[in-house]
Chains A and B, each alone.
Chain A
Amino acid sequence: QVQLVQSGAEVMQPGASVKVSCKASGYTFTNSAIHWVRQAPGQRLEWMGWINTNLGTTKFSPKFQGRVTITRDTSATTAYMELSSLTSEDTAIYYCAKLGGTYFHYWGQGTPVTVSS
């Protein structure tokens, strides 16, 4: 069965960078894009960007362009999302999701990231 398992919770200082991983299993990793979505406390879901896991190409929301990097390691069937220049407004749960067509069919369990001094 398809599974996306994310790395654990992080507590970061303002100005730092955080890198979250998403380990995929149960399907051919390079056949489906991986997207990243975040949700601040009590707030809506917010789409951040995605990676073509076969080609390694990426696309980002204008809001995060220049501050987010998404990479993948095909041998490890793992995608990574790195967000830099963190502020308290980046405190959120970060989800990875597997694209099925044009919808998010499977989701990781979420990685809480807290930005606090």
Chain B
Amino acid sequence: QSALTQPASVSGSPGQSITISCTGTSSDVGSYNLVSWYQQHPGKAPQLIIYEGAKRPSGVSSRFSGSKSGNTASLTISGLQPGDEGDYYCCSYVTGSTYVFGSGTTLTVL
């Protein structure tokens, strides 16, 4: 059960938009619209920001959006803010009632 593939790092200036990709296989990302995304700040527990591919939990900014095409899911953050800095992880349901996380992406706001 290999980790989903994410870029190690992305960066952007305040106000810009960035996109983080999450590539899996036909057994996980490609088969289900069940990718979730988590934001993690240093020393803190992860926080859910997107679920079921594109849905936002209550309280999460509309600047965060999700999508999927084939075996790749994507997280887009628009209007970058300094507080968006941190690590981002995707996670997918996998056939057989298991789960797999992505390799993680560190976002730097320049």
Contacts and interface: CB of A to CB of B under 8 A. Distances in A.
Interface of A: 35, 37, 44-47, 50, 59-63, 95, 100-105, 107-110
A30 to B, nearest CB: 18
A37 B91 CA distance: 11
Interface of B: 1, 3, 32, 34, 36, 38, 40, 45-48, 51-52, 57, 89, 91, 93, 96-104
Contacts of B36: 102-104
Contacts of B46: 37, 45, 95, 104, 107
21 contacts: A37-B101, A44-B3, A44-B89, A44-B102, A45-B38, A45-B40, A47-B101, A50-B99, A59-B98, A60-B98, A61-B98, A62-B1, A100-B51, A102-B34, A102-B52, A103-B52, A103-B91, A104-B91, A107-B45, A107-B46, A110-B45
Contacts of A60: 98
9 A-B pairs closest in CB distance: A103-B36, A103-B51, A107-B45, A44-B104, A45-B101, A47-B99, A102-B34, A102-B93, A45-B89
Given A61-B1, A104-B38, A44 B45 contact: no
Contacts of B32: 102
Given A47-B100, A61-B98, A95-B45, 18 more contacts: A35-B99, A44-B3, A44-B89, A44-B103, A44-B104, A45-B89, A45-B91, A47-B91, A47-B98, A60-B98, A63-B1, A102-B36, A103-B51, A103-B52, A104-B48, A104-B91, A109-B45, A110-B45
